[in-house]
Structure 1
Amino acid sequence: MKRSLISLPLSLILLESAFPVALAAPPRQPDKSVECEILVIGGGLAGAAAAYEGLLAGKTVCLTEITDWVGGQVSSQGVSALDERTTQRQRQFFSRGYLDLRERIRRKYGKLNPGECWVSVACFIPSDGHKFVFSMLQNAEKRGKGKLKWFPSTVVKDLEISQNGKLIESAIAIQHNPAKNTPPLNTEPLSQTIEDAYRYENSSRFDKTIIRFLPLKRTKKSQTTQPTNWYVIDATETGEIIAIADVPYRLGIDPRSHLEPSGANDTGDPYCTQGYTYTFAMEATKEPQTHQMPPFYSRYSPYYSFEAKRFNFASIFTYRRIWSNPNAPKELKIRSRETFGVTPPKPGDISMQNWTWGNDYRPGTAQDNLIYTREQLQALGQLQPSGWMGGLRVESLRGGEELSQGYFYWLVAGTTDSQLGDGVKQPHPNNRYLTGLNSPMGTVHGLSKYPYIREGRRIIGRPAWGHPEGFTLWEVDISRKNFREDYYRNNLSTEQYRRLWALLSGLNATAVIREALSPEQVKERSRSAIYPDSVGIGHYTIDFHPCLAKSPPETPGNYGYPNEAMAASQSYPFQIPLRAMIPQKIDNMLIAGKSIATSHSAAAAYRVHSFEWSVGAAAGTTAAFALENNLMPYQLVEQLPRQQPRLEALQRRLQQNGNPTAFPDTSIFNEFGKNWQ
């Protein structure tokens, strides 16, 4: 049956004046039906990794993506500078697919860092990122004898859910292509096309193909023993399928607690998610260029800044330089302190821009939040059948696009600095903004095809042992923060403070709870929480690009949401439990990417490139394993902490396939200490 109509409370109906309802026309009959064993929705790194492992397992995999590039961060989002931790990189302790990606970068350019950037050891051209990842999928299809069905420029509009509410039986999607005698895709930025992409009817811009995705038909004998004929993996950037299926999820800041001790306040705030970024590429030139001020520049110019005195134009240009001109004169190839040990910008160099006080758009209020809450979606009618329109505020998308285009003008012509004052910023006209379908971003307008999303909807896992309100990865599970700071004793209750230190004490937890040990007597563990159902790994700083307190975010003098980034710190190497990937209610859906069950603080670490690949690999492998063994993923973990032989078999498969589920020497008796940086 279709999703049932939702009865709107009177309070939400009254919100219609603030949220104009956008209901799509009822669908015509699908133009075609496509069968698959694994439907991966979202072609970012997590979705690509899920498809990669599914294909190597010999499965028929359908992969959809809103843009026409696969790879997400390394391609359509333009963040082609790999975020990695030092020790993990030195030991090459990554998933096999991620190592394959790194090796393809090296082979293409002759080195891993053709941009000689200083933020990473790998900075490269986003258009090449798409080619790397797509060729990996083709190779996996051939090696595993699977079948890849690739659907670019495709969004999922509706789900058909079983009568008992536990299974996704089909998904209705819309694929768009340019209408006759219209410009090619990627001519207009996303804010101008996204609503059209989610409407069933053809338009002056797009011709639409309506696709019904269905489980691959099996023999009658297998159907009697198989709990489901397919799995649906939500690997979208904002958790779209989570919202459409209406499974429990979180959004924004979580209330402060012993699990989330650095929470900004006691109530939480669903409107404050991390800032998102439209990246762009710029090229250094020998001669000055003519730059035209954008008509909206004055609106955003009070925002831009180098951020700190140690930064300047040269350091920001080289921070994410994705191409370093090898033919520049030798006298220009001298390393510089101003650029943190790399060569200064040279004519022909290309930089990708992703800067907090530059092109990070950081709305954080109910008036401008990008990702609509469930209540806002209800008021808009987007949770009604055929009502889904992407779940994003188009005005905020447009604001992010304008902020980014204005930032380029500020870099080359601006003379103000919102954080450092007058006299700091000087013009740098010897640069040009790169546009065109053959440019690094592959767009006529020059912006990335999709913004880099740092945080979206995050599921609440199923109630489990030790997690009666639903499984979640919390700040306290991974953080290296000094929780003895006065902030925690002053802002947590006595009971919360004791419970915090019980968690941090490792094997002494019972003694702390029984008050045989005081928090002051506890020796804090030096590792992350360990999970018996770990299916992947990650390691990164708990890193915030905090939302801003005032609306709109470009308001002069705006400032970060109070205490929103209090949790910022180093983390210990951490695990990805299978329970964090299994939503409530729906049994044949898995979650990959940034929408797994994390808190706001933990999500700030669980969001970078290698994590996305690891969790995607886990999702694809788990789906294949479940199909082959006639079981549901929740059955692998429902009896924890008892030993689970089938779960152990899945973990062995992951490890044997080169997808680590734990860091070396992980044990409740071992401490990482400072060995992993």
Structure 2
Amino acid sequence: MRRRNFLETLAVGSGLFAVAPLLSLPTQAAVKQIKKSDGTEQLEADVVIAGGGLGGFAAAMAALRNGQSVIMTEETDWIGGQLTQQGVPPDEHAWIDTTGATQLYRDFRNRVRDYYRRNYPLTEAAMNDPLLNPGNGTVSELCHEPRVALAVLTELLNPYLSTGRMVLLLEHKAVSANTEDDRVKAIHVKESRTGSMKKLVAPFFVDATELGDLLPLTGTEFVTGTESKADTGELHAPDKADPTNNQAFTMCFAMDYVPGENHTIKEPANYTFWRNHVPDLTPPWPGRLLELHYSNPKTLQPKKLGFDPLGGKTGDALNLWNYRKIISKDNFVQGTYPGDISLVNWPQNDYMLGNIVGVSEEEFDKHVAAAKELSLSLLYWLQTEAPRPDGGKGWPGLRLRKDIMGTTDGLAKYPYVRESRRIKAMFTIREEHVGRANREMVAQTNKDKAAEFSDSVGIGYYHIDLHPSSNRVNYIDFDSLRFQIPLGALLPIRMKNLLPANKNIGTTHITNGCYRLHPVEWSIGEAVGLLISYVRRKELTPAEVRKDGKLLADFQSFIRSQGIETVWPE
């Protein structure tokens, strides 16, 4: 019997889209590795992707399965971005298991569940749960360890790596680029451990870095920070623009709780500062940062939080321990884990005292070091001073799990970045397109639906969620509508062969708040990988696809055949 190919398997398993053949392409060539006479190493492929996060990974998978050879770089030693090196269990919407993401993304999620079933001693109930949530965290229907995501992502890439169709350059960062006639000709990357350089050459380049690093290197037009109301006309935009005002970033960490043991860390050097720190925000933050309260994101009124690593009731307050819990010991055979494991990405370790977008390496390192001190100070406060339900203080049994994050200090390998440089795009998504209140003001009909984009290449959903910012603006958080991803937002206004695949697409500061989450970043990347495959086959530019109605319709039919949803089901 004929074996099903990848897409047929996905199609039959999901029942969500029709089976269609891949593009008719010649057998995929391997990446070329050339040693130049001057000793420099040059690698050549069909696509070069800078950044191995979710958008970069998805772009690579889409290009690879359609016959393209790929070079992907990653600044750290882990691919996976938010899910792995940054330690953030997925932020998703309520429909994620059936719709609102690509089929490949849902396949990844099911592979994570299967990984636990194959490798972990689950209880019978957990083993038979089709929607297994290993951590039972409340932030998502699937909370799991970063290393499991890394294992699943790596497994998906391995066939391409072993055949030479893909080269993965870990611990490499782009440092310069060559451009000519509105095209990127090459980028130069530096290995962090040795300082050695490589030149990467391709017809197409993808910026999937966390901060939009390729944009300034290639001269691609971009914006940063906050636009003004005069710039965008958005309901929640401020009167004055501020290019340096970006959302807080976070240095996440993992911890478990071992009752009866003392795992208290050494008091951090700057603990006194952080213990007494009151964020200077407008509107005001309700007291010290290291307390069990924060500003209600929607109302900005003081809101209590709870914390009990034994999983006890905390009244009406959210128990932070359960929020991003990645291992619930109750899902595993008794004795497998001494306690639950939880990842800490809370309001209390959002770093608001500096901006890391578009700054020098020294400035970046300074703020990351300070953010690490904040996270360790939060842990120390939890171990020594946090109020307990029994009236006591501190939980010394909290243990920093360095092994979970794969680092010597126990903190994430890279900051959880919420905001990046953003391309000046052929189309910019504004609040009036996706914000519920703004939409009600401007829409002539269908005021309860997001704007429909004729060039949609994906869908997603999250409320507009802006964390406190580097220039002292408190939360901005309000309802959005289930939205589409327009192709125009993925196309720079001038550059012909550079595409974004992270938080660097054509959004505003406001709309970035709902386009920055895990499945949306993945959808952006997959659309970009498919776009490159399509235009290389047709010998077109990306802009020509959007401009020509017949080409656009053909491209949308192609991506739908590969598991991309372009409209929300009624």
TM-score normalized by structure 2?
0.81
**Alignment-mate amino acid for residue 151 of structure 2:** K
Measured in 1, the distance between the counterparts of 2:384 and 2:210 equals 34
Give the alignment of 1:221-300 within 5 angstroms: 230-257=203-230, 259-291=232-264, 292-300=266-274
Q: 1:148 to 1:258 in 2, by over 3 A?
A: closer
Measured in 1, the distance between the counterparts of 2:333 and 2:134 equals 17
1:537 aligns with 2:493: no
Which of 347, 355, 360 is the aligned partner of 1:369? 355
Which of 551, 556, 570 is the aligned partner of 1:651? 556
Q: 1:349 to 1:618 in 2, by over 3 A?
A: same
CA displacement at 1:297 relative to structure 2: 0.8
- Give the match for residue 408 of structure 1: 379
Which of 461, 466, 470 is the aligned partner of 2:425? 461
Give the alignment of 1:471-620 within 5 angstroms: 471-481=427-437, 501=441, 503-506=442-445, 525-547=447-469, 549=471, 560-561=472-473, 565-566=475-476, 568-620=477-529
- Give the match for residue 219 of structure 1: none
Query: Residue 64 of structure 1: SS of its match in structure 2?
Result: strand
1:43 aligns with 2:52: yes
Q: 1:29 to 1:404 in 2, by over 3 A?
A: farther
| Mean CA deviation greater in 108-117 or 166-175 | 108-117
Measured in 2, the distance between the counterparts of 1:617 and 1:327 equals 33
- Give the match for residue 17 of structure 1: none
- Give the match for residue 291 of structure 2: 305
Which of 184, 192, 209 is the aligned partner of 2:196? 209
| Mean CA deviation greater in 305-314 or 149-158 | 305-314
- Give the match for residue 224 of structure 1: none
- Give the match for residue 32 of structure 1: 41
Measured in 1, the distance between the counterparts of 2:231 and 2:271 equals 44
- Give the match for residue 555 of structure 1: none
- Give the match for residue 104 of structure 1: 111
Query: Residue 233 of structure 1: SS of its match in structure 2?
Result: strand
Measured in 2, the distance between the counterparts of 1:424 and 1:354 equals 25
Query: Residue 405 of structure 2: SS of its match in structure 1?
Result: coil
CA displacement at 1:253 relative to structure 2: 1.3
Measured in 2, the distance between the counterparts of 1:57 and 1:426 equals 58
Measured in 2, the distance between the counterparts of 1:416 and 1:634 equals 57
CA displacement at 1:424 relative to structure 2: 8.6
Deviations 1:351-395 (A, max 9, x none): 110001x211123xxxx32212xxxx6xx6xxxxxxxx5x96221
- Give the match for residue 414 of structure 2: 450
Deviations 1:196-247 (A, max 9, x none): xxxxxxxxxx3222111113xxxxxxxxxxxxxx210000111111121222
Query: Residue 306 of structure 2: SS of its match in structure 1?
Result: coil
- Give the match for residue 149 of structure 2: 129
1:395 aligns with 2:402: no
- Give the match for residue 498 of structure 1: none
- Give the match for residue 324 of structure 1: 328
Q: Is the 8 A contact 1:534 1:577 kept in 2?
A: yes
**Alignment-mate amino acid for residue 69 of structure 2:** T
Measured in 2, the distance between the counterparts of 1:95 and 1:264 equals 31
Q: Is the 8 A contact 1:75 1:130 kept in 2?
A: yes
Measured in 2, the distance between the counterparts of 1:286 and 1:565 equals 35
CA displacement at 1:39 relative to structure 2: 0.6
Which of 65, 68, 71 is the aligned partner of 2:77? 68
Largest Rg, 1 or 2: 1
CA displacement at 1:477 relative to structure 2: 0.7
Deviations 1:266-290 (A, max 9, x none): 1111122111111111111022314
**Alignment-mate amino acid for residue 220 of structure 2:** V
Measured in 2, the distance between the counterparts of 1:115 and 1:444 equals 24
Query: Residue 440 of structure 1: SS of its match in structure 2?
Result: helix
Measured in 2, the distance between the counterparts of 1:424 and 1:174 equals 53
**Alignment-mate amino acid for residue 357 of structure 2:** I
Deviations 1:30-76 (A, max 9, x none): 63110110111100000000001011001101010001111111111
Q: 1:102 to 1:139 in 2, by over 3 A?
A: farther
CA displacement at 1:608 relative to structure 2: 0.7
Q: 1:442 to 1:454 in 2, by over 3 A?
A: same
- Give the match for residue 626 of structure 1: 535
- Give the match for residue 32 of structure 2: none
CA displacement at 1:141 relative to structure 2: 6.8
Measured in 2, the distance between the counterparts of 1:313 and 1:120 equals 19
**Alignment-mate amino acid for residue 647 of structure 1:** L
Measured in 2, the distance between the counterparts of 1:623 and 1:425 equals 59
- Give the match for residue 22 of structure 2: none
CA displacement at 1:310 relative to structure 2: 4.5
Deviations 1:418-456 (A, max 9, x none): xxxxx9983111111112xxx111111111101110111
Q: Which runs of 4+ in 1 moved over 6 A?
A: 327-330
Q: 1:146 to 1:533 in 2, by over 3 A?
A: farther
CA displacement at 1:82 relative to structure 2: 1.8
Measured in 2, the distance between the counterparts of 1:425 and 1:300 equals 22
1:427 aligns with 2:394: yes
Measured in 2, the distance between the counterparts of 1:528 and 1:392 equals 39
Alpha carbon RMSD of aligned pairs, Å? 2.6
- Give the match for residue 545 of structure 2: 636
Query: Residue 416 of structure 2: SS of its match in structure 1?
Result: coil
What percent identity do the matched residue pairs reach?
30
Query: Residue 200 of structure 2: SS of its match in structure 1?
Result: strand
Q: 1:174 to 1:293 in 2, by over 3 A?
A: same
Q: 1:322 to 1:97 in 2, by over 3 A?
A: same
Q: 1:29 to 1:78 in 2, by over 3 A?
A: farther
TM-score normalized by structure 1?
0.68
Query: Residue 89 of structure 1: SS of its match in structure 2?
Result: coil
Which of 58, 71, 84 is the aligned partner of 2:67? 58
Measured in 2, the distance between the counterparts of 1:327 and 1:595 equals 38
CA displacement at 1:175 relative to structure 2: 1.7
Deviations 1:602-629 (A, max 9, x none): 0000011110110000000001111111
Measured in 1, the distance between the counterparts of 2:205 and 2:514 equals 25
**Alignment-mate amino acid for residue 295 of structure 1:** A
Q: 1:424 to 1:211 in 2, by over 3 A?
A: farther
Measured in 2, the distance between the counterparts of 1:409 and 1:532 equals 52
Query: Residue 62 of structure 1: SS of its match in structure 2?
Result: strand
CA displacement at 1:140 relative to structure 2: 6.4
Give the alignment of 1:189-208 within 5 angstroms: 206-208=193-195
Measured in 2, the distance between the counterparts of 1:629 and 1:244 equals 28
Q: Is the 8 A contact 1:458 1:598 kept in 2?
A: yes
Measured in 2, the distance between the counterparts of 1:139 and 1:355 equals 38
